[in-house]
Amino acid sequence: MVPQTLTVLAAIRRGEEARLREILRPIGDDIEGSRSTGGSGRVRVEFTRSRRIHFARFGILTDPDRGPGCERLLYSATYDGDLDAHLAELIAITSDLDAIWGRCEAYQDVAGFGRFIRAHALEPAAFYIAFRDETVGQIQDAIALRRQSEALDDSATAGPRTFDRPPHTSRSDGVAIRRAIDSGERAIGDGVRRLMRALPIVIDVIDVFVRYGVANAVYAARKTTASLDRYPLVRFVNRLTNNRMPPRRSLYSSAPLDNCAAPAPLVPGDEVPSGPGSQLPTTFREDAVTQNQLTLVTVVTPGQANRVRAVMAAIDALAKRLTPPGSLIGVSTIHFVKWLVIDEGRRLMMVSDYDGSWESYIDEFAEMILSGLDAIWETAYGYPPDGARDVPAFKQFLRRHQVPSEVFFSAYPDETVLNMANDLNRAL
């Protein structure tokens, strides 16, 4: 069962922004629901009761198209099953749905919640899933099995010494043979599944050419692969087509020395997506658990929307067809990441759930998929002249366009992608 994703952007009624923050922030502060709420009347979203949601977040971002001071609510989730089941569960785990969504324009009541969500839901232009075939329950079961095994190992180490079975017995030989056969069968099955998953990429390529034009399709292909010479086939094609990273314009960073000033647009036409009403640093809710969350909204320069969409289509095809479990072009810290071209092509949103610190995440991206980052964001206002190779300026660009999450939930908050890969392999 492939996890599904939902992204909702809904305009907040004027004057309700501050109250909505007051409701959401305590939910995020007590995401596990461990604090007493007796008699307080506080609104709760009991995400820990869910058996379908992998990750979820709420955020509030500016809504420049409606005018100064206007904001909109972001809800993003990755879940198992269909949308109706997810929405039914979301209703069930929310103590007062109207208190949250009733502050958004066009919302009427719980009975019309499904219609409201569908009217405000956005389709991702690219969506990467670390483990495409695992549900929340399967992942949590694999984690529990590993923890149980660790507990047994600890108790065995602490207990009286026992003598192992002699190494060369017919029973151990039979078990080893059986395991080898099972391993071979799994490898063959995995190979067949990966081949079947990869075959539609030919249709994806044709679709990109038809929908976005030859020039944009060629741009997307060349730009995203220019720094991937570590792969022999890509290196061969890059040399054949003389596809390489352009020389740097400067040996020095374009980032200003003053990084303490309040966020402001980097260039005319740029926007800061986190409104002044948030009064929060973009680092809010970072490093709270093993995983982190990142939400970015950048402004696409006029006339470049189809170029961005072509890049997204290339990334989406790669993520769906060719990536092995737990790795996106060598980056093995991403649980889920999606990009959405929003507001009729004027803005690009990225929503990511990843392991480790923000700094290490961006560093790994810049090291492993350098040209891909340039392909994604070089059409945005304020992107550094030397792109992601100018790491300080690139990080400043991302921070200026980051939206803090009021609420962030993970179904397995202590687990990394690498640990989960080991757990899932052990559970087979």
What is the domain-level CATH number for residue 30? 3.30.70
Co-location of 214 and 111 in the same domain: no
69 sits in the region (left: phi over 0; alpha: psi -120 to 50; else beta) called left
For 43-63, write each residue's pLDDT tens digit: 999 999 999 999 999 999 999
Q: Hey, what amino acid is at 348?
A: L
**277-297 mean pLDDT:** 88
Co-location of 205 and 114 in the same domain: no
Higher pLDDT, residue 57 or 280: 57
Co-location of 396 and 285 in the same domain: yes
Q: Residues of the chain with pLDDT > 90: what percent?
A: 66
Q: What is the pLDDT of residue 233?
A: 84
Co-location of 219 and 304 in the same domain: yes
256 — pLDDT class (breaks 50, 70, 90): confident
Residue ending a domain, choose from 80, 95, 123: 123
Give the CATH number, domain containing residue 287. Answer: 3.30.70.100
Q: What is the pLDDT of residue 186?
A: 53
Q: Where do runs of H (alpha helix) occur along 64-169?
A: 83-93, 97-101, 113-120, 136-158
Query: Angle at Cα 180 formed by Cα 179 and Cα 185, nearest 5°?
Result: 95
Residue ending a domain, choose from 123, 154, 171: 123
| Segment (H or E) for 316 | helix 305-321
Q: What is the pLDDT of residue 163?
A: 46
Q: Does residue 365 lie within any of the structural domains?
A: yes
For 371-418, write each residue's pLDDT tens digit: 999 999 999 999 999 999 999 999 999 999 999 999 999 999 999 999
| Segment (H or E) for 189 | helix 170-198
Q: How far is CA 403 from CA 2, 20, 95, 148, 287, in A?
A: 27, 16, 26, 38, 15
Q: Does residue 416 lie within any of the structural domains?
A: no
Residue ending a domain, choose from 92, 123, 154: 123
Q: What is the pLDDT of residue 298?
A: 98
Measured distance CA(130)–CA(338) in Å, rounded: 12
- Distant-in-sequence, close-in-space partners of 401: CB < 8 Å, separation ≥ 6: 272, 273, 296, 297, 298, 380, 382
pLDDT at 79 over 70: yes
Least confident of 65-74, 141-150, 165-174, 323-332: 165-174
71 — pLDDT class (breaks 50, 70, 90): very high
Co-location of 235 and 358 in the same domain: yes
Q: Does residue 343 lie within any of the structural domains?
A: yes
| Segment (H or E) for 193 | helix 170-198
Co-location of 304 and 203 in the same domain: yes
Which is it for strands 71-79 and 53-62: parallel, antiparallel or unpaired? antiparallel
Co-location of 119 and 207 in the same domain: no
Domains in the chain: how many in total? 2
Co-location of 80 and 218 in the same domain: no
When the pLDDT of each residue in the chain is averaged and rounded to a whole number, the result is 88
For 188-234, write each residue's pLDDT tens digit: 555 555 555 556 667 878 888 899 999 999 999 899 999 999 888 88
pLDDT at 165 over 80: no
Are 280 and 329 within 8 A, CB to CB?
no
**10-33 mean pLDDT:** 94
Co-location of 117 and 210 in the same domain: no
Q: Does residue 117 lie within any of the structural domains?
A: yes
3-class DSSP state of 190: helix
**13-38 mean pLDDT:** 87
**322-331 mean pLDDT:** 88
Neighbours of 34 (CB within 10 A): 7
Co-location of 222 and 320 in the same domain: yes
264 — pLDDT class (breaks 50, 70, 90): confident
Q: How far is CA 191 from CA 185, 201, 332, 422, in A?
A: 10, 16, 20, 19
Q: Does residue 78 lie within any of the structural domains?
A: yes
Q: What is the pLDDT of residue 39?
A: 47
For 342-352, write each residue's pLDDT tens digit: 999 999 999 99
Q: Which domain holds residue 361?
A: 198-256+271-404
182 — pLDDT class (breaks 50, 70, 90): low
Higher pLDDT, residue 54 or 149: 54
Structure token pair of residue 44:
């709760």
Q: Does residue 426 lie within any of the structural domains?
A: no
Q: Does residue 388 lie within any of the structural domains?
A: yes
Co-location of 212 and 357 in the same domain: yes
Q: Does residue 142 lie within any of the structural domains?
A: no
Measured distance CA(251)–CA(353) in Å, rounded: 33
Co-location of 236 and 356 in the same domain: yes
Note every long-range contact of 413-416, with CB atoms under 8 Å and residues 24 or more positions apart, other chains counting: 413/289, 413/290, 413/291, 414/289, 414/290, 415/139, 415/143, 415/290, 415/291, 416/290, 416/291, 416/333, 416/355, 416/356
Q: What is the pLDDT of residue 322?
A: 78
